[in-house]
């Protein structure tokens, strides 16, 4: 991966569960992201669409506890 042409999309949550709907009991691979997080990521990726050579990197920051 060429970090030089990458755009980092940071997301900070208190727990891993905060990324997903509270009552989605599907396996982790099949869970839907919360609407606000999904929209945030989608908007950032759409902004990058102008530069086809840019790679988006999703970084999820979790609290230590």
The token duo for 64 is: 């230590």
pLDDT for the residue 11: 93
For 2, list phi and psi in degrees, rounded to 5.
-95, 105
Q: What does residue 64 show for φ and ψ, rounded to 5 degrees?
A: -65, -30
Q: pLDDT digit string (tens) for 8-60?
A: 899 999 988 889 988 888 888 899 999 999 999 999 888 876 666 788 889 99
Nearest to 11 by CA among 31, 39, 51: 39
Contact assessment for residue 32 and residue 20, using Cβ atoms and an 8 Å cutoff: yes
């Amino acid at each position: 991966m060429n970090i030089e042409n990458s755009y980092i999309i940071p997301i900070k949550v208190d727990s891993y569960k905060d990324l997903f709907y509270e009552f989605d009991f599907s396996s982790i691979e099949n869970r839907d992201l919360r609407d606000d997080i999904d929209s945030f990521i989608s908007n950032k990726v759409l902004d990058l669409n102008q530069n086809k050579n840019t790679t988006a990197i999703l970084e999820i920051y979790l609290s230590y506890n």
